[in-house]
Amino acid sequence: MLATPIVIRYYRRVKGVVIITLIGYSKTDMKEKKQAKDTITFLGTGGARFMIITQVLASGGLWLDLGGTEILVDPGPGCIVQTNKRKLKAEKLSAIIVSHRHLDHAADVNIMVEAMTQGGFKSHGRLFAPTDALETEPVLLNYLRERLDAIEVLEESKTYDIEDVSFKTPVRHVHPVENYGMVFTTPRHTFSYISDTRYFDDLPGYYNSELLIINLVFMEPRTPESHPNMPIDHLSVPDVERLVSEIRPKATILTHFGMGVWRAKPWEIARQLTEKTGVKVIAASDGMKFDLSTLDED
Ligand SMILES: [Zn+2]
């Protein structure tokens, strides 16, 4: 639909000359401002090595549009492809957040900084990442760093502001590299993104919010006790059940599926978890756009 321009004119007289100032608004802009929405687009729903190598499910992270503030979280492989495919505009991004430096979360950070800054012609935006991803094994090429307004270091229990959105990194996860989940607060909603981690006792206490987004990689835990030869620090279906039962959000969205979860049909797992917990659990699909205003209806 075409926007209808509304033009406001200011007249003033300077040394006998009439100066007219025209300010253009459009009805569409005003409507968008009035009906600010929070949406999350799942650029991909695959996680862990074999799913990422094969791209049976896409990868690429979460694209947040929070009342017009656009934020990209965990730009995994193919993020640039999915961004263009979904007709999202990287130059509108205010920030890119990397939870940790594993490939499935950070592989496309360079190209996404390139896209956010229009190939360097429009330097702007911020990158948030743990020290480990900035210094130990830097995920961002040096020549791209100067295009950003700032690089912010993620630390445990800190809160960060991006325009009128804030997010907290409440606890360092149990994972082979430094890694944080996030609790986002917008003027309308709260939601948590529980990035990769081994389950630990206090985990649910850190992520109280209306909506949970959980990276579900395995069907069963692979703890040092159950798999002494090859423990892997990822969440599994029983871990998700504990998280949902303790936090009791309005809804939970599962994503970042490993091959075993995909074979078991994530939507079936979600249905069973909904039955067991009484909380609405949804399996994300590639390209799914979730509107948080649906949380207000239930
Ligand atoms: Zn990881």
Confidence grade of residue 200 (pLDDT, cut at 50, 70, 90): very high
What's the whole-number mean pLDDT along residues 110-133? 97
Are both 191 and 221 inside the same structural domain? yes
Q: Are 70 and 63 in contact (CB under 8 A)?
A: yes
What's the whole-number mean pLDDT along residues 178-206? 97
Q: Using one digit for the tens of pLDDT, what is the confidence trace for 234-271? A: 999 999 999 999 999 999 999 999 999 999 999 999 99
Q: Can you list the positions of beta strands (E) in 205-250?
A: 211-218, 235-236
Ligand 1 centroid – CA 12 distance (Å): 61
Are both 70 and 153 inside the same structural domain? yes
What's the whole-number mean pLDDT along residues 195-211? 96
Structural domain containing residue 11:
1-35
Tell me how many domains the chain contains.
2
What's the whole-number mean pLDDT along residues 225-234? 82
Q: Using one digit for the tens of pLDDT, what is the confidence trace for 43-83? A: 999 998 899 999 999 999 999 999 999 999 999 999 999 99
- CATH code, domain carrying 216: 3.60.15.10
- Cα gap 284→260, rounded to integer Å: 16
Are both 28 and 69 inside the same structural domain? no
Are both 138 and 259 inside the same structural domain? yes
**Residue 66 token pair:** 């929070």
Are both 31 and 69 inside the same structural domain? no
Rounded to 5 degrees, what are φ and ψ at 132? -55, -35
At residue 3, the pLDDT reads 46
pTM (2 d.p.): 0.88
Ligand 1 centroid – CA 118 distance (Å): 29
Ligand 1 centroid – CA 238 distance (Å): 19
Confidence grade of residue 20 (pLDDT, cut at 50, 70, 90): low
- H helix runs in the chain, sequence order: 27-34, 49-54, 79-85, 103-106, 109-116, 131, 142-145, 237-247, 259-263, 266-277, 294-297
Ligand 1 centroid – CA 263 distance (Å): 21
